[in-house]
Structure 1
């Protein structure tokens, strides 16, 4: 912390670049579980109403947010559908406890179990449980207890913030997020970057003071009740950032980016079809990653073949002749899906997820492959398998896919086998990259980094160790890129590193010539590559 006569400044870590100036609004979770209880019947009915309301609220948030945000919220939905837990809580009410007491006791016990678990994934989920606890309690109180109303353009300050609370805030008027703890690799950080919301984490203890806040997501600082000089310098930095963004937008219309005389293909990642509405998406060289998990978040069960086909076909038609890489279901890990993923795994990140899960559940995987095979007749589709460890997994997926194409053609349904590639996110795959007979490779830097560094990327306590630019991570990226160059196989990177300006020199020096980023980052990344190419550096 730095202080002056008229203002205080706190330094943290950047999670999302940008600038915000506005009132500081503290959002501190309330764990008080007191209210006036009614009869046993009234309490049971009140709790059922509060749970149903919470389920609807979360489903509505998931439907609006879509994509990975919806998958993150599935954990809370799954807990509300846990009949063993719910029945135990109603039994507690039957023993004379109020609805709030019964609910809090059960959730606090679960939170305690998660916090005491050795597995960091489970520890990270405790904040989701606390969020769900407080949501139901707020519903029991008639909507009170979810925190203060947040004016547009506010700098929201909290110890930590669960994804559902972030999604409830109206960011249309700007604003920013300042977390006392948190992690730049957390789910909330990913959501903030995707929406262009400046965010700084790990700010430490901040007093309950400060009417006005200046949040600098570039310099990772929070200034409270700033002096005139602090305001002047902040506005100066913000104006430089604004001009840089404007220059970047102008560059989108220029010829493609290049570095050392080589063309750099810039593609985009999308979470759902609606992401293509972003104004900058049209300037992409194609779609480097279409996540399909949003289809699993729809209410009413797993998606049928026609629903999936329509989504894939819409994206392929939008892209015209540009390549589109669609990733098959990457469920599991931090994305549980009721009726699909396996419950109770000790370590879901190292469990049955991605292609492992799809091969174990062919009745679900077959439906997706049928839809993809039908969509492939447009000619610009590439299909990518996630979480691949061994060549045998790729070949098993290829054989199943080929059999499905043959079956569709026998039914006189137009279908074809698209190019098949893999996500390189398991260290074993990167180390043995030459053993995979894939048409292309796409490096998933988020998972690759967490597996190489043995750090859960959602655990804020490990954030100082979770460095994507660690030499071990870069060595595997360079190894994969070199294999692609040597064999003439396409290699791209579609993880968060591709959208981080500080990582670009290292990625380009590793030999990567294809990067896939969120549409909101496309302009700035192209602008940065142009500056690097002209010797301007990152400063």
Structure 2
């Protein structure tokens, strides 16, 4: 029996056989042809890879589809293609050139400040490995599950999971992935247990054996390979209890959001622009507190597509608030598409098609618009000038529109300290991204896991208190967003600092609600 301890990324407990996803070693038995032939082979491999990704994207939804569209966009990126072409022209083989580009571009993403963009380094590795496998003649579907199994890997690539029947996946165990990796996010969306950061060699050791994956208690998860009879009996009991619980709706979802002393609070959910627009608000959420729109930047979606998606999202929200976080290239420094995006923006801060789509969609529901990366009044006024340009263009074209409330994401200390000035210059609501604010305040821009564990740091609390006081004095709504499963135990302190609304990823809604309902503000 071998017991390994890691970090719980998605709650639950399962027991079953283990199947390993092994990305293998590429580069064996390669023969390098002349540069013209190598470039032709590379071009053909890219066409095949894009076709495979498009077929996968047709079956994917929400963030899953977003990941695949990003991979297609990378293969079409001019700087990425030029990097590979130059190396092939210098005499390298197509596969080696792709592997070199993978190291360069994944490395750049790993150094980007924005956490969401930084996590996409695994997508670069994923799509590059797909092209390399085509060039090397290796199969892209490496695993066919014949029975429900626990999947293990050194690190999961998104396509590892897209190509599998998810009904056959009992759980995920990873040597390296973090709680904010795509594998962890997908596990939570799929409702399957996951334990990450188990350490080197665990996946290979567990392959082919029976194992228990237990992420049912707290932040720590365990992975027991070749368990004893006693451990198996205990796991059977826990699994039976969880299944019984799963058949009965959690009664907490229907309860009023009230603390022990009767103080009311609101829970909002967080989602992605490409998620199913017909999906109802889950588990009693009062609205969408953070609708991410990176797909606008990554996929260059036309205005009409954005408008249709937003309108449908608003119409299906039954009057509930939908707060959209706009795109901002200031958060994407060193990304492979930054230069092209900057050129396309012509010096502007906002994407005009997105703003015009938001103005057009506003009449269809309770839409709010939030600008990220606002360091101060100058940034805010720059955004509002560009909004006015969009208004004028729509007005001149005779297009129906409406101005929704505009606000900003408080993700930097300067925005927190200047919250009063921002409100005085027209900010109508503030959403404090607690994880980003912690990263920028504590110097943890490159370490999201450490930031999650310090979101209740006294310095961060002081900044949040400053925002709450300035907003309250001016009658402006303020709420907390950027809350994940990993950080919920540290969030109740902000209830005591005056926060009354919280935007949470779906998997954390009920756990946070239970914690907040147990608080008693009379003890202050």
Q: Deviations over 1:355-400 (max 9, x none)?
A: xx979336x7222222211222235211111111112211222233
- Map 1:21-100 onto structure 2 (within 5 A): 21-35=15-29, 37=31, 45-62=40-57, 64-65=59-60, 67-69=62-64, 72=67, 74=70, 77-79=73-75, 81=77, 82-88=80-86, 90-91=88-89
Question: In 2, Cα distance between the equivalents of 1:484 and 1:463?
Answer: 29
Return the offset for 1:188.
3.1
Correspondence 1:442-453 to 2 at 5 A:
442-453=431-442
Alignment pair present for 1:419 and 2:405:
yes
The DSSP-based 3-state class of the residue aligned with 1:184 is: coil
The CA deviation at 1:35 is 4.2
Equivalence for 2:237: 236
Structure 1 residue matching 2:232: 3-state secondary structure: helix
Contact 1:192–1:198 under 8 Å retained in 2: yes
Give the equivalent residue in structure 1 for 2:205: 208
1:369-384 paired onto structure 2 within 5 Å: 369-378=355-364, 380-384=366-370
CA offsets, 1:190-240, max 9 Å, x none?
A: 333333332212111325245112111234111112122112222333455
Task: Find the counterpart in structure 2 of residue 4 from structure 1.
Answer: none
> Structure 1 pair 39/484, CA: closer, same or farther in 2 (3 Å)?
closer
Q: Tell me, yes or no, if the aligned pair for 1:114 and 1:125 is still in contact at 8 Å.
A: no
Deviation at 1:59, TM superposition (A): 4.1
Match runs of 1:173-188 below 5 Å? 173-188=168-183
Tell me the distance in 2 between the aligned counterparts of 1:39 and 1:359: 42
Match for residue 285 of structure 2?
284
Looking at structure 1, the residues matched to 253 and 352 of structure 2 have their Cα atoms a distance apart, in angstroms, of 39
Spell out the pairing of 1:515-530 with structure 2 (5 A cutoff): 515-530=502-517
Q: Which of residues 98, 106, 111 in structure 1 aligns to 2:97?
A: 106
CA-CA distance at 1:142 after TM superposition: 4.4
Aligned pairs for 1:278-357 (under 5 A) are: 278=279, 281=282, 283-298=284-299, 302-331=300-329, 333=331, 341-342=338-339
Larger deviation, residues 240-249 vs 435-444: 240-249
Match of 1:408 in 2: 394
- Conservation of the 8 A alpha-carbon contact between 2:292 and 2:326: yes
Distance 1:113 1:488 in 2: 48
Distance 2:37 2:110 in 1: 39
TM-score, normalised on structure 1?
Answer: 0.80
Shift of 1:522: 3.3
CA contact (8 A) 1:55 1:80 kept: no
Match of 2:227 in 1: 226
Aligned CA distance change for structure 1 residues 176 and 379 (closer, same or farther; 3 Å): closer
Taking a change above 3 Å as real, the CA distance of residues 248 and 494 of structure 1, as seen in their structure-2 partners, is farther
Distance 1:287 1:434 in 2: 25
TM-fit CA distance, 1:71: 5.1
Point out where structure 2 has 5 or more consecutive residues left out of the alignment.
none
The answer for the alignment partner of 1:392 in structure 2 is 378
Does the residue aligned with 1:314 lie in a helix, a strand or coil?
A: helix
| Cα distance between partner residues in 1 of 2:47 and 2:109 | 32
Provide the rounded CA distance (Å) in 2 between the counterparts of 1:337 and 1:221: 36
Q: What's 1:514 paired with?
A: 501
The answer as to whether partners of 2:17 and 2:211 remain within 8 angstroms in 1 is yes
Which position in structure 1 is the counterpart of 2:269? Answer: 268
Q: Taking structure 1 as reference, are residues 422 and 358 closer, same or farther at Cα in structure 2, changes over 3 Å only?
A: farther
CA deviations over 1:52-110 (Å, ceiling 9, x no partner): 22223334445654555555552674255433233235436xx5x7xxxx134224434
- Between the aligned partners of 2:263 and 2:429, the Cα distance in structure 1 is 19
For 1:469-489, what per-residue CA distance to the aligned partner results, in whole angstroms no more than 9, with x for missing partners? 433333333433343344332
Q: Aligned to 1:440, which of 416, 429, 440?
A: 429
Structure 1 position 304, deviation (Å): 2.6
2:214 and 2:280 mapped to 1: Cα distance? 25
Partners of 2:82 and 2:41 in 1: CA distance: 19
CA contact (8 A) 1:66 1:294 kept: no
Q: For residues 304 and 470 of structure 1, what CA distance do their matches in structure 2 show?
A: 41
Q: Which moved more, 1:412-421 or 1:145-154?
A: 145-154
Relative to structure 1, is the Cα distance of residues 396 and 44 closer, same or farther in structure 2, using a 3 angstrom cutoff? Answer: closer
CA deviation profile, 1:410-434 (whole Å, cap 9, x unmatched): 5443222211110111122123222
Distance 1:373 1:498, change over 3 A: farther
The answer as to 2:354 corresponding to 1:368 is yes
Distance 1:43 1:146, change over 3 A: farther
What is the alpha-carbon root mean square deviation over aligned residues?
Answer: 3.8
Contact map agreement 1:138 1:146 (CA 8 A) in 2: no
Tell me, what secondary structure is at the counterpart of 1:261?
coil
SS of the aligned residue for 2:408 comes to: strand
* Matched residue SS, 1:11: strand
Which residue is 2:6 aligned to?
Answer: 12
* 1:163-206 residue CA offsets vs partner (Å, 9 max, x unmatched): 34343343234422211122223343233333333221211132
User: CA, structure 1 residues 139+105, in 2 after alignment: closer, same or farther (shift >3 Å)?
Assistant: closer
d(CA) in 2 for partners of 1:319 and 1:124? Answer: 30
Alpha-carbon distance in 2 for matches of 1:115, 1:407? 39
Match of 1:193 in 2: 188
Q: TM-score, normalised by structure 2?
A: 0.82
Matched-pair contact (CA < 8 Å) for 2:179–2:486: no
Give the 3-state SS of the residue equivalent to 1:48 in structure 2: helix
Q: Which deviates further from its counterpart, 489-498 or 386-395?
A: 489-498
- Residue of structure 2 in register with 1:3 after alignment: none
Cα deviation 1:424-456 (Å, max 9, x = unaligned) = 111221232222122111122332232223334
**Change over 3 Å in CA distance of 1:118–1:52 after alignment to 2:** closer
